[in-house]
Amino acid sequence: MTLYGLWIFAAVYFLAVATPGPGVAAIVVRSLANGTRGAGAFIAGFMIGDLIWFTVAATGLAALAQTAHTAFLIVKYLGAAYLLYLAYRMWRAQPQAATAVDIPAAERRSQLFFGSLALTLANPKTMIFFVALLPTVVKLEALTVASFLEIVVVICVVLPLVLGGYTLLAARARKIFKSERAVRRINRASGVAMAGAAVAVISR
């Protein structure tokens, strides 16, 4: 793959990741409610999901993925259910100061990872990009192992940078609000937004 072609893919992929959708909404509202706690595991789930969709498209399994309707619906509703769970947790969360010490929990991080992975696999925007739009940017039939790995590297760099940027901006905005009343409002607004993202996933 030429350097120019790789740059074209990186630019198109950057725009696809940065464009608001259920994934970006989940990142933003979760960061508004919880700051950067667990963000690494949450973003990792999105990244692995994108790598799975890219592999599906690059190995010619797109047609098979499109025919696996029942499996897709299961993943789709699992992702939506996870978003609704997050919405419930955010609505019910007790307000805490933004400077509170975060206690890492391995189990919680694993739940975040698999939740965002399920959301990515069920996200119509992600599926459309890799299965339908990617072939217009990259000649998948001529993709070599080296080119495949180059694109994998681009995905592993671009996605964490973009979603990490969203996370930091949302967490920074959260710190502006110091009172418990303001934090409670952020939590509940985030819960409503997360539930809206779940509805968007289900309705597509």
Q: What type of residue is 92?
A: R
Reply yes or no on whether the pLDDT at 191 is more than 50.
yes
Q: Looking at residue 147, what is its pLDDT? A: 85
- Both tokens of residue 120? 């990515």
In this predicted structure, the answer to whether residue 134 has a pLDDT above a threshold of 50 is: yes
Q: What is the DSSP letter of 140?
A: G
Mean pLDDT of 144-172: 90
pLDDT of residue 4: 77
User: What pLDDT score does 159 carry?
Assistant: 95
pTM recorded for the entire structure: 0.67
Confidence of residue 106 (pLDDT cuts 50, 70, 90): very low
pLDDT at 197: 64
- pLDDT exceeds 90 at position 7: no
Locus of tokens 């993709």: 143
- Count CB atoms within 10 A of the CB of residue 39: 23
pLDDT grade, residue 177 (50/70/90)? Answer: low
**Cα atoms found within 13 Å of the Cα of residue 58, Cβ hemisphere only:** 18
Domain boundaries, the chain: 3-97+110-203
- The pair of structure tokens assigned to 116 is 């965002």
